[in-house]
Structure 1
Amino acid sequence: MSSLIGEPFQVSSYPISTKTRHDKVHNPTYASYSRDFPGHATVTVQAEGIHIIDLSELHTVASHTCGSNVAFSGPASSRCTPEGDGRVCTTYALISSAPEVAVKNRNRTVWIMKQKILGGTLDKSDKHEIVLPHEVTHIYSDDKSSKILLVSSTGDISVADNELNIQSTLICPHQQNFLDVFFFPGTSCTFLPPHENLPDTVIVFCSSSDSTLLLSIVSVTGKDITIIGKNQVSTSHGVSGRKIQHHVIALSCSPCGVLSYINESHTWAAYQLEVNSLTTSVTQIGETLALAQSSRLNGHSFGCGMCLLSVGSSLVLLATMTGTPSSEISILLWDMRYGVVIASHAVPIPSALAPSIKLGINMSLLLADAGQVLLTLCPANVSRTASSTSESPYRSVVYIVPLDPNLKSTIAGAIGKTPATSQWLAPNPKAETLADNDPRSILLIDMANHLQHNEPHKADEAFFRWVKEHTSASESSSSNALSISTPDGAASEALYGYGFVKELLALFFAKEYTEKPQYSPRVTRHLIESCVVSAGMVEGRLLTALKQHDDWDEMISLAKALIDKQQKPQTDPEVMDVDSNKTWTPTLSAYMLMCVSYPTSPAALRLAIRKHLPDAQDLISILELLDGWTIGGTEEHRGGAAPPYDKTISFLQVLLDASFVSLLQFPPSHELLRNIMSHIEPEIELHERMGYLRGALEPFARVQNRIVKERAEGTPRETPNEWRKRRKHQEQQIALGVGLYRLEELII
């Protein structure tokens, strides 16, 4: 779909052991990336060890074999420091259990393993053990302060030095279910209040309780740890008619404070975090998205079959399993502010993971170097299904996904992405299915029969007869579910319904009922005036369909609305409304550019102008645009922001035909009309001069057109007799003489 996401390539693959059992189930493989060791990823493999991989050359620079009876409670972290004539790689491994670790120290033990790298060769590894005061599942290396941050699944946080000597600890017991934790350098966090001394690190700790997502925001400066904000978000978003599941299965957070989550119902919502001196606010951005449940393989546990990664601002990368006809992993780049897919890429399920598809696949995304994302795939629930003595056929795989490093969230990047986004969203929940005995279904069948027999007037009569019957019924029985009270009231929606209106419009715009749909402006206008029509009900958008059927009434009414909005005085023109939540509307210039460029029916356009733009004051705004678009005439450099010149002149002619008398009676329009005339008169003179050449050049134009047509249609070459006739005709034309334009042919 786009070059923003490159072709993923495999970094490494590791076998998964099922010989050991643990009280707590951990991922078979973890991947981590530290700014203290740029260009290198640390891969932790259960029952095997830890590997440090050079991402540029895709080879292992250091390994620590830990044995088949060792289990890790989380991803290891590595940092590299210069020492003498080489470098020392220090790896911190979080140990869940090992033969040499006492039971009481499980999940509290960290192994510090150092290995010196001398010109590409490895020195002997040195290892020593540290027991922490609390459990630890995440470790973060702060490259600014050279501190090590240790976080448990209950929210306990410790600050330590390079040798894990604890300097301070914040005990935050949580009874909730831990989800994920995010670490950000303080200088990159834009959701913090303005402050001269920014923290070294900001930690966003996420857990859940029932149908609530709980957030704790922690500031770390030196060895000082402070909770600077707490808040909660409801995870009970659901879709009508679908069983609502509240548990969060995927989560992301950006340094800009954009937090998003997906729940078990595959509903996706995004929020903006803001921390100030008093409170922490959480405001939803964009609309809640209902993702299409494309695969039954997407599990209901965190990270299984689906994962998220924030790549800056409101841009979020989604990796998800898709189902039949062929299972694959789709990588989608979403802009949550606009709710669209910016780019997508499909990755076939690797053969190393194929046997484990039925068990589910755990996924994780990790931001590495600029332009690189690490995707880790490993089987889920292997230890629960395999016997303790079996040799596992399962493997985990680590990929690098190339990503454009200059990604930004812009409205220009989101425009035009709606059609590609629709396949990833669930059908609109309002689009209910009509029962066979529903009177609306009977009406649709009746109208479709009339349209197929080229009787649109009878279809109109059937529709308005049906409306009259149910409107009359509403007057005698207020309990009737299919009654209406006011054109824009709630009862109007009860009468029509989303699905009914969509199918009704399909009769006029879609070709599934008849090869040439019969358009009904009366019915369409009635539905619009009843406020039951939305733009997305018609494939290709409603306004485009109206233009294709020369229904300019609603088009010009929208132009009138944009003119009124443009003429409305602003409260403070000096204020930049960057973060406004107001609905975006197009400018009059952009809208009229589309209207003028599209094929026009003069009669329908004249009627629409007279109806919606009777005031000459409103026409001034349009005339000013047309005045600018007529400058330059037919010259090619007009392109870009101006419509085709012939379309501009055609639209201007219809506009003047419809309202020339009104413009003459309005003095402010006179100067504009004179300017437009001064731009058009040179084009008229040029057209007249070019007309003199038409008679002389017309034979050559006909010959050229015939040759082009013959080449396009594959016409056989002419016979000798045909060639002699054409030759004779050409000689006659030459004898006539055509002044400066003379053709001579030399035959060798």
Structure 2
Amino acid sequence: MSKTVSIEEPFQLSSYTSSYRGKQKSTGSEHVFVNSVSSRSKEGLVTVTAQADGVHLVDTSSLHSVISHTLGPSTSFSCPAATLGVEGEYTTYAVVEASPDLVDQEEGGRIVWRWRDSLSPVSSEKQRDTRVIVPASERIHGLYTTSNPSRILAATQAGRILVLDSSSLEEKGSLSLAMDIHRVFLFQSSECSFACKPSLTTLVTASFDGSGFLNVHVVSLDSNDQLSQSAQFTLSHKGKAISDISCSSSGCFTVLCKDGSWGSYALSTAQLRPLARPFKLAILSPETISITALTSSHVLLAALPPDASPSVAHIQIWDLQYSVLLSSHSLPLPSVFSSSLPGLKLIPARGQAILSLSTPNSVSSLFVIPYSIPPQSTLAVAISKGASTKPWIQSGAPEQRESESKSKGEVERERVVASIKSAMASGKVSVAEGAFGAWLKETEEPSLDYNFVKELLEVVLSSVGKNTPPHAPQIVKTLLDRGRSEWASIGASFSSVVDLPESDIIHTLITLVKLHRQQAAPGDAMQVDGASATDLPSLSSFLSLCVTYPNATSKGIVLGLKKWVRDPEDAASIAQVLESWMRSLGQQRKANGEVGLLPSNKDLEKNEHGVWVIAADKKVKKGKDAKKALPPLPKVVSFLQSFMDACFLQLLQHSPSHKLLQQLQAHLLEEASFSDVLEQLRGSLEPFAVGHQKTLKEAAIPEKEKERQRQKGDWRQRRNGAPAVVGAVGTIGVYQVEELVL
């Protein structure tokens, strides 16, 4: 993917004019719906659902419809149609709001029509299938395809999410959120950073509660068609004030309000924290605006200027992590929109976006917006965009929201910070500590917001100076104590921090071992802190992080173990996990009574350069079964060697550990014998291994470097070329180079 950010010249895909003749019309304001086609065989297809027209499968590369279902001017739809493509066969699903073909007009908004088509010229179109999905009290809000071709999802305005069989349209599962669903964002769990457990699909829904506040739900769909809610968060934004919402697979959730303010949040199953300070857009009209998430914290925006008769639409790419404008493009509007202000809607479509423009008089146009963007947000790209961003945002701090739009918790937090700031400015440290302690007793929040803690520390830890009052030690101590046992953050540091000291890793490991031992002790045993059993990670999963941490050295591990492992019971607990790994790895190797030397097709995948590699290591690190996966055998053996160097004498003096030592010895002897057998194959297999490594190395060379090497030619040709060599002897300065050929 490109490392630069740019928006290419948009081009028109199609245009539609609606002349609806039915008795009732779709409740939606859009006359054309667009949806990306879920297909593994062909890219660049989108499903266009046109009111009073039909459903069309359009190829964005040829600008032609490859499949069309024309239904006439009396047909309307409730939501965008969804198309699922499997091996050249395309199945389209549409929710019909009104049509003369409906047996009962009360079925409108509840019935799904399905067509099966093929791009092959010899195949014939199959008949349309229909099925009523929801009862009379509900209406279908949207249809969504999943990574599983046998399942589609439907969302209702009553707050229900349905799992449907893609062939029979039978309901296989459901989940009720009991809220009016406004938007649904669907991601493959393998590509989603905030998917909390093994699942196929992760959904993020934006809903509004009875008070009108925005609620965010994270929902997981597993292979058994079970929907489960993983997390729920409430934001202080009210539905009437929101213009549009976006969410990316990396967890960047943004809310654009009608007053132009734009806020971003980092979404995880544990919290929804602000990603950056909100800012206000300028020049653009918040009433006619649309956003869609791209990669990381990049968001594509389309908006009209606040003119009465705008002639252009502004297309922009923003990085919400740094609040900067990365690229901008002006799209001239067709003349048909000169007399009526169009509404805008952006739809992502695999490396490009579709912009839908619709007017109240049922005129619509679709534009394809090609763009290039890096996969991750980086400071290097954003740092030079300050000057180009300044004209598009309002100067100064954003206006504060009205107090009635803030939640009770936000008001209380602002009040306690103001009280502490006033007390610290007067040098009354005890008063500040008392105000914080009183607020802490009354609050019901299990964890404190990141920005609140940051603002609080800025107040109590002011810069050192002659007139600076001492800091509030009790507040700092309380914040540190509340942050203890934050195991989720500790686990995340193994993948985000590159220089964790081995001593700190082992110290944390031993702390976890002691906590597990204390919780396994009788109920009257003394507890070190208040960590509950549900908060603690398993010893096996945390030890796996320690074993696979790439920057740990054997020497550092040995020193850390010698420093912190002082109780033989702690060493025995670690040895027990290592023994279970060795036993399980040996059983996996001898699966089905055979030695699995050759990887199966499921174990192979293409890397970023298109070369086939074994995917086992990648699955261990990133797969959703990471808690159950075993570390690689070389990593386990390496850690076991360091562990024995540091703790063998302790285990030897601890009689209950003798059986563990014998079992470990048996596993190691078995692996050593197996290695001796494999050693006999080294001579036969080494050419293939060397060839594969050469292929990997050559594939990683950029094309420009390959072309430069080709232009240099073979070394024999360069040697024979004059005047590089005179005879078989060349001179380099005062040195003489001679060549001896045997």
- The answer to whether 1:138 aligns with 2:142 is yes
Higher mean Cα deviation, 15-24 or 310-319?
15-24
CA distance in 1, matches of 2:237, 2:54: 37
CA distance in 2, matches of 1:140, 1:23: 19
User: Residue 211 of structure 1 contacts residue 234 of structure 1 at CA under 8 Å; is this kept in 2?
Assistant: no
Could you tell me which amino acid in structure 1 is paired with residue 84 of structure 2?
R
How many angstroms does 1:214 deviate by? 0.7
1:285 maps to 275
Q: Look up the SS of the partner of 1:174 in the other structure.
A: coil
1:40 maps to 45
User: Residue 154 of structure 1 contacts residue 174 of structure 1 at CA under 8 Å; is this kept in 2?
Assistant: yes
1:366 maps to 347
Could you tell me which amino acid in structure 1 is paired with residue 268 of structure 2?
E
Inter-CA distance 422–23: structure 2 relative to 1 (3 Å threshold): same
User: Residue 5 of structure 2 contacts residue 373 of structure 2 at CA under 8 Å; is this kept in 1?
Assistant: no
2:316 maps to 332
Aligned with residue 56 of structure 1, among 58, 61, 69: 61
CA distance in 1, matches of 2:43, 2:236: 38
Could you tell me which amino acid in structure 2 is paired with residue 54 of structure 1?
D
- The answer to whether 1:17 aligns with 2:31 is no
Q: Look up the SS of the partner of 1:126 in the other structure.
A: coil
How many angstroms does 1:138 deviate by? 1.4
Q: Look up the SS of the partner of 1:338 in the other structure.
A: coil
- The answer to whether 1:350 aligns with 2:340 is no
Render the CA deviation track for 1:261-301: whole Å, top value 9, x for unaligned: 111211110001111xxxx4110011101112534xx53xx
- The answer to whether 1:115 aligns with 2:117 is yes
1:249 maps to 243
User: Residue 203 of structure 1 contacts residue 218 of structure 1 at CA under 8 Å; is this kept in 2?
Assistant: yes
1:646 maps to none
1:375 maps to 355
Render the CA deviation track for 1:112-166: whole Å, top value 9, x for unaligned: 11233324x7734521211102532211222335311111123211112222432
Inter-CA distance 294–149: structure 2 relative to 1 (3 Å threshold): closer
How many angstroms does 1:332 deviate by? 1.1
Alignment of 1:499-578 (within 5 A): none
Could you tell me which amino acid in structure 2 is paired with residue 342 of structure 1?
L
CA distance in 2, matches of 1:60, 1:180: 28
1:92 maps to 93
1:447 maps to none
Could you tell me which amino acid in structure 2 is paired with residue 316 of structure 1?
V
2:207 maps to 207
CA distance in 2, matches of 1:249, 1:43: 23
How many angstroms does 1:254 deviate by? 0.6
1:510 maps to none
Inter-CA distance 231–60: structure 2 relative to 1 (3 Å threshold): same
1:684 maps to none
Q: Look up the SS of the partner of 2:392 in the other structure.
A: coil
Aligned with residue 30 of structure 1, among 29, 33, 43: 33
Render the CA deviation track for 1:626-658: whole Å, top value 9, x for unaligned: xxxxxxxxxxxxxxxxxxxxxxxxxxxxxxxxx
User: Residue 331 of structure 1 contacts residue 344 of structure 1 at CA under 8 Å; is this kept in 2?
Assistant: yes
Render the CA deviation track for 1:155-197: whole Å, top value 9, x for unaligned: 2111122224324232425354x3211110111111133x4xx
- The answer to whether 1:76 aligns with 2:81 is yes
Inter-CA distance 186–145: structure 2 relative to 1 (3 Å threshold): farther
Cα-Cα RMSD: 3.3
Inter-CA distance 579–271: structure 2 relative to 1 (3 Å threshold): farther
CA distance in 1, matches of 2:30, 2:255: 21
How many residues in Structure 1 have an aligned counterpart in Structure 2? 402
User: Residue 92 of structure 2 contacts residue 115 of structure 2 at CA under 8 Å; is this kept in 1?
Assistant: yes
Inter-CA distance 262–181: structure 2 relative to 1 (3 Å threshold): same
The sequence identity of aligned pairs, in percent, is 26
2:384 maps to 416
Alignment of 1:144-163 (within 5 A): 144=148, 146-163=150-167
Could you tell me which amino acid in structure 1 is paired with residue 200 of structure 2?
D
CA distance in 1, matches of 2:105, 2:233: 36
Aligned with residue 320 of structure 1, among 294, 303, 312: 303
2:259 maps to 265
How many angstroms does 1:401 deviate by? 0.6
**Residue ranges of structure 1 left out of the alignment (5+ in a row):** 237-244, 300-304, 383-393, 432-484, 490-571, 581-748
- Greater CA radius of gyration, 1 or 2? 1
Aligned with residue 67 of structure 1, among 72, 77, 95: 72
1:406 maps to 374
Render the CA deviation track for 1:666-720: whole Å, top value 9, x for unaligned: xxxxxxxxxxxxxxxxxxxxxxxxxxxxxxxxxxxxxxxxxxxxxxxxxxxxxxx
CA distance in 1, matches of 2:283, 2:240: 15
User: Residue 115 of structure 1 contacts residue 126 of structure 1 at CA under 8 Å; is this kept in 2?
Assistant: no
User: Residue 258 of structure 1 contacts residue 270 of structure 1 at CA under 8 Å; is this kept in 2?
Assistant: yes
CA distance in 2, matches of 1:259, 1:105: 35
CA distance in 2, matches of 1:203, 1:164: 23
Q: Taking structure 1 as the reference length, what is the TM-score of the superposition?
A: 0.50
CA distance in 2, matches of 1:151, 1:256: 23
CA distance in 2, matches of 1:167, 1:311: 32
Q: Look up the SS of the partner of 1:356 in the other structure.
A: coil
2:583 maps to none
Could you tell me which amino acid in structure 2 is paired with residue 306 of structure 1?
I
User: Residue 353 of structure 1 contacts residue 396 of structure 1 at CA under 8 Å; is this kept in 2?
Assistant: no
How many angstroms does 1:405 deviate by? 4.7
User: Residue 148 of structure 1 contacts residue 164 of structure 1 at CA under 8 Å; is this kept in 2?
Assistant: no
User: Residue 266 of structure 1 contacts residue 293 of structure 1 at CA under 8 Å; is this kept in 2?
Assistant: no
Q: Taking structure 2 as the reference length, what is the TM-score of the superposition?
A: 0.50
- The answer to whether 1:181 aligns with 2:165 is no
Aligned with residue 397 of structure 1, among 356, 365, 368: 365
Inter-CA distance 211–420: structure 2 relative to 1 (3 Å threshold): farther
Inter-CA distance 260–10: structure 2 relative to 1 (3 Å threshold): same
Inter-CA distance 54–5: structure 2 relative to 1 (3 Å threshold): same
Q: Look up the SS of the partner of 2:388 in the other structure.
A: helix
CA distance in 1, matches of 2:132, 2:213: 34
Render the CA deviation track for 1:331-353: whole Å, top value 9, x for unaligned: 11111111110111111112233
Inter-CA distance 65–122: structure 2 relative to 1 (3 Å threshold): farther
Q: Look up the SS of the partner of 1:25 in the other structure.
A: coil
Could you tell me which amino acid in structure 2 is paired with residue 253 of structure 1?
C
Inter-CA distance 414–172: structure 2 relative to 1 (3 Å threshold): same
CA distance in 1, matches of 2:216, 2:230: 11
- The answer to whether 1:127 aligns with 2:128 is yes
CA distance in 2, matches of 1:175, 1:3: 38
1:192 maps to 195
Inter-CA distance 294–373: structure 2 relative to 1 (3 Å threshold): closer
Inter-CA distance 407–347: structure 2 relative to 1 (3 Å threshold): farther
User: Residue 211 of structure 1 contacts residue 247 of structure 1 at CA under 8 Å; is this kept in 2?
Assistant: no
Runs of at least 4 residues of structure 1 off by over 6 A?
none
CA distance in 1, matches of 2:256, 2:129: 41
How many angstroms does 1:578 deviate by? 5.7
Inter-CA distance 173–285: structure 2 relative to 1 (3 Å threshold): closer
CA distance in 1, matches of 2:205, 2:168: 22
CA distance in 1, matches of 2:191, 2:495: 24
**Residue ranges of structure 2 left out of the alignment (5+ in a row):** 400-421, 427-489, 499-742
Inter-CA distance 171–332: structure 2 relative to 1 (3 Å threshold): same
